[in-house]
Structure 1
Amino acid sequence: MTKPRSRSRSLNPRWVGLAAAGAALVTVTAALPAGAADRPQPASATALDARERIDAAALQAALGTPADGSFAGAMARVGGHDGRWTGTMGTVSADPAASFRIGSITKLFTSTVALQLVAEGRLSLDTPVQELLPGTLPAHWQPITVEQLISHTSGLPRAACWDPDTVYTPADLVKTVTECSQAGEPTTGPDIPQVYNGVNYFVLGMVIEKVTQHSYADEVDRRIVRPLGLPHTYVPAWGETALRAPALAPDLAPTDPWPWAEGGMVSNAPDLERFLGQLLRGRLLPPAQQRLLFELPRHAERGFTRGGVQYAKLPDGTEVYGKSGSLGGYTNGVFATRDLRRGLVYSLVPLTTDDKEIQKRYLGIAAAAF
């Protein structure tokens, strides 16, 4: 990969180092149910009672109105066994094909490709990064495995010390982090806590390219986008600031897609709904890797499974799986119940920088959807 030229721009470190406004749908309050089946099972007809039917009025109300001044627009797409509903508010496009920057939802694509490589025997969950990418991490650091990258248990330091006027290649960004005295060294010990960290997925993208000898974008396209038929989903090229299709929020300024395998992809609501549904059904992974999508590592604090899926338990007890993400003015999420009885894709365009206000809005949408 060639290094892109520097651009005058302002980078926000939280896209890499911290969970952004939508990085956790809700704090996990319980472990996965014991003895749960490995694959989703269809809900029975009797389960689809009045309480579980899609409540269009509640969903539209949860999107809010432009009058509250906190959001320029919002979109939600709800589907499942009992139908589908799509609604919008404000300046966002009502076209279901409208595209948006999905931010850290990209990580689901990255972890899926990595798990496919594990299934093919081209690497293992226990393979150290230092073996796959010699010289990428300091030699005196403890071994960091592929599974630790996927599940955010690597202990890698978060991003720091970068030049805000430079667009980094993945290798340059990782080097900047690992050589930064402010960032420190990885957390050590037998039970490394789970800490959400986008640097894990820059390294994981580099692993994918090293093992396959193909670009990350090509592997995502070959393994996921084309087999599932996702016409609006892609990894932008370096320097590609404009979306290739009409944007969900046409008024947002172009964004340099620097987050790459960590958070740089573009998609739309129908594509994300299909991708998550097929992932949870087992279409993309064989059983041994599929089980990892639903297993939490020990000492999980942020609710990411061993397969990199974000797990959350809603206040009413509903358990959902998926991923959230923010980039370029969009705050998004794609979640579904394990049996695919109900699924949700949302995208917000906040005017506020108050994370609590943003969280209140997407939690309200989730409550109406599930």
Structure 2
Amino acid sequence: MFTRIAALALAAALPTWALAAPALAAAAPAAKCSAATRPSERTSLPALNAAALCESISGLPNGQATYSLVRVRGEAGSWTGSSGVRDVDKGGRVPDDARFRIGSVTKMFTATVALQLVGEGKLDLDGTVQHYLPGLLPASYPPVTVAQLLNHTSGLPSPTLPHDDQWILDHRFDKWTPQRWMDGVGKNPMEFTPGTKQHYLNTNTIVLGMLIEKVTGRPYGDAVRARIIRPLGLRHTTIPGEDVRIPGPHAQGYMAVDGKLVNVTEMSQTMPWAAGEMISTTENLDRFMVALYGGRLLKPALLDKMFTLPEGVPMYDGNDDPSDDKPATYTMGLSATTLPGGVTIYGKTGGRYGYSTGVFATRDLKRRLVVSVGSTTKGDSAMLQTIGLAAFAS
């Protein structure tokens, strides 16, 4: 599971980075920052602050990240920036069309296909996992619906796995199957009664991937290619499967271990599978957002569900004390964040070792952000928060 961008409003108060920057052999080029275009008269969003955006990506590589790629588009202004190096030993600027691992942004694609199947009558939001995939869940588990998978209110647990740095490095080429993940899930009890709380977990989207395969009779990746990637012309978006490489131009990915950077560019993505394996570019992800939010991929009633939070459902915090409950932040495929000033943005973050990604936009698409950061730590880079605040706040 990877952390989310709901703390955007706190970006300015983030603590200083705790990890000392590893020694770097190559000199870093200065950040490349475009001028900001002026917003059209039809938007009430503030003008882009080019200086704040450029400052948000300056100083790379450091102990937090090795590079950044940022793309801001929409009627409310456009801006492009990059910083850092594509290789910490050899240097070199990261090209604007660099491919990168998008992590949990993959969930947007998987959720979109699942909702398309709902629109076609092949899946029912109120249908249960037990109906579509009998025997997948332990008999002791209560019914879990497709809707609860989509908005992370299923109560399904994660498998118990070690996550220390050495285990990750030793097992980074392991080949996983969805069934192996679910075998681990079944060894743990339900976290809560389905529909009563929200807990963002890969398990939910992995089961969605299995449902897609069951009702389409084809690999989930084939369904994503046929329904999204090819129709939208996302030529630089790939689903790697068992291929550990990143095709095309790309920056190297690194993981900080004991103060040193370990190259983890080549790494199996079979563990997260439908929840986090895809590769893309800033331009392709922006094009996907425009098509999705603009109604090209889903019927209006189903698209609305991507922008609707479950009512009266708190986030799961492991205790039964309602005094510290926080409201749900995930819809059916996206997360929602309200920034200072009242602007609400929708999208997703994703983190895989060496790479962190964020895609966010206002509901009307008048401002859109896609960012990739060469994070050297687990989870989403704190830089995503800083960049996001610079892109959307006044």
Pairwise TM-score range, normalised by the shorter structure = 0.7 to 0.9
Q: What's the counterpart of residue 245 of structure 1?
A: 248
- Kept in 1, the 8 Å contact 2:353–2:379? The answer is no
**Superposition deviation, residue 329 in structure 1:** 0.8
Q: Quick one: which of 329, 332, 343 aligns to 2:354? A: 329
RMSD: 2.4
Q: What's the counterpart of residue 36 of structure 1?
A: none
Q: What's the counterpart of residue 61 of structure 1?
A: 55
- Kept in 2, the 8 Å contact 1:87–1:94? The answer is no
Q: Are positions 1:184 and 2:179 aligned together?
A: no
**Superposition deviation, residue 28 in structure 1:** 9.7
Q: What's the counterpart of residue 127 of structure 2?
A: 127
Compared CA separation, residues 52 and 324, structure 1 to 2 (3 A): same
Matches within 5 A, 1:14-163: 18-20=1-3, 23-26=4-7, 45-48=40-43, 52-66=46-60, 68-92=62-86, 93-161=93-161
Task: Determine helix, strand or coil for the equivalent of 2:110.
Answer: helix
> What are the Cα deviations for residues 300-344 of structure 1, in whole angstroms up to 9, with x where unaligned?
534111x22111111232110010000131111000011111010
Rounded to whole Å, the distance in 1 between the matches of 2:48 and 2:387 is 12
Q: What's the counterpart of residue 303 of structure 1?
A: 329
Compared CA separation, residues 348 and 192, structure 1 to 2 (3 A): same
- Kept in 2, the 8 Å contact 1:27–1:303? The answer is no
Gap runs ≥5 in structure 2: 11-38, 87-92, 254-262, 316-327
Residue type of the alignment partner of 2:249: P
Rounded to whole Å, the distance in 2 between the matches of 1:156 and 1:185 is 5
Rounded to whole Å, the distance in 2 between the matches of 1:296 and 1:48 is 25
- Kept in 2, the 8 Å contact 1:73–1:89? The answer is yes
**Superposition deviation, residue 252 in structure 1:** 4.9
Task: Determine helix, strand or coil for the equivalent of 1:89.
Answer: strand
Q: What's the counterpart of residue 3 of structure 1?
A: none
Q: Are positions 1:366 and 2:369 aligned together?
A: no
Residue type of the alignment partner of 1:254: E
Q: What's the counterpart of residue 265 of structure 1?
A: 278
**Number of matched pairs:** 327
Gap runs ≥5 in structure 1: 1-17, 30-43
- Kept in 2, the 8 Å contact 1:100–1:249? The answer is no
Rounded to whole Å, the distance in 2 between the matches of 1:354 and 1:226 is 30
Rounded to whole Å, the distance in 2 between the matches of 1:45 and 1:253 is 40
Q: Are positions 1:233 and 2:233 aligned together?
A: no
**Superposition deviation, residue 206 in structure 1:** 0.4
- Kept in 2, the 8 Å contact 1:99–1:268? The answer is yes
Rounded to whole Å, the distance in 2 between the matches of 1:327 and 1:219 is 23
Residue type of the alignment partner of 1:246: P
- Kept in 1, the 8 Å contact 2:108–2:348? The answer is yes
Rounded to whole Å, the distance in 1 between the matches of 2:275 and 2:342 is 30
Q: Quick one: which of 295, 302, 305 aligns to 1:292? A: 305
- Kept in 2, the 8 Å contact 1:102–1:265? The answer is yes
Rounded to whole Å, the distance in 1 between the matches of 2:9 and 2:181 is 31
Compared CA separation, residues 172 and 354, structure 1 to 2 (3 A): closer
- Structure scoring higher RCO (CA < 8 A, sep ≥ 6) equals 1
Q: What's the counterpart of residue 368 of structure 2?
A: 343
- Kept in 2, the 8 Å contact 1:217–1:234? The answer is no
Compared CA separation, residues 283 and 139, structure 1 to 2 (3 A): same
Rounded to whole Å, the distance in 1 between the matches of 2:282 and 2:199 is 28
| Larger displacement relative to structure 2 (134-143 or 211-220) | 134-143
Q: Quick one: which of 211, 214, 224 aligns to 2:215? A: 211
| Larger displacement relative to structure 2 (55-64 or 280-289) | 55-64
- Kept in 1, the 8 Å contact 2:108–2:334? The answer is yes
Compared CA separation, residues 354 and 329, structure 1 to 2 (3 A): closer
**Superposition deviation, residue 85 in structure 1:** 1.8
Residue type of the alignment partner of 1:177: V
**Superposition deviation, residue 109 in structure 1:** 0.3
- Kept in 1, the 8 Å contact 2:350–2:358? The answer is yes
Task: Determine helix, strand or coil for the equivalent of 2:236.
Answer: coil
**Superposition deviation, residue 293 in structure 1:** 1.1
Rounded to whole Å, the distance in 2 between the matches of 1:75 and 1:202 is 28
- Kept in 1, the 8 Å contact 2:356–2:379? The answer is no
Compared CA separation, residues 55 and 159, structure 1 to 2 (3 A): same
Please report the TM-score for the alignment, with normalisation by the length of structure 2.
Answer: 0.77
**Larger fraction in helix:** 1
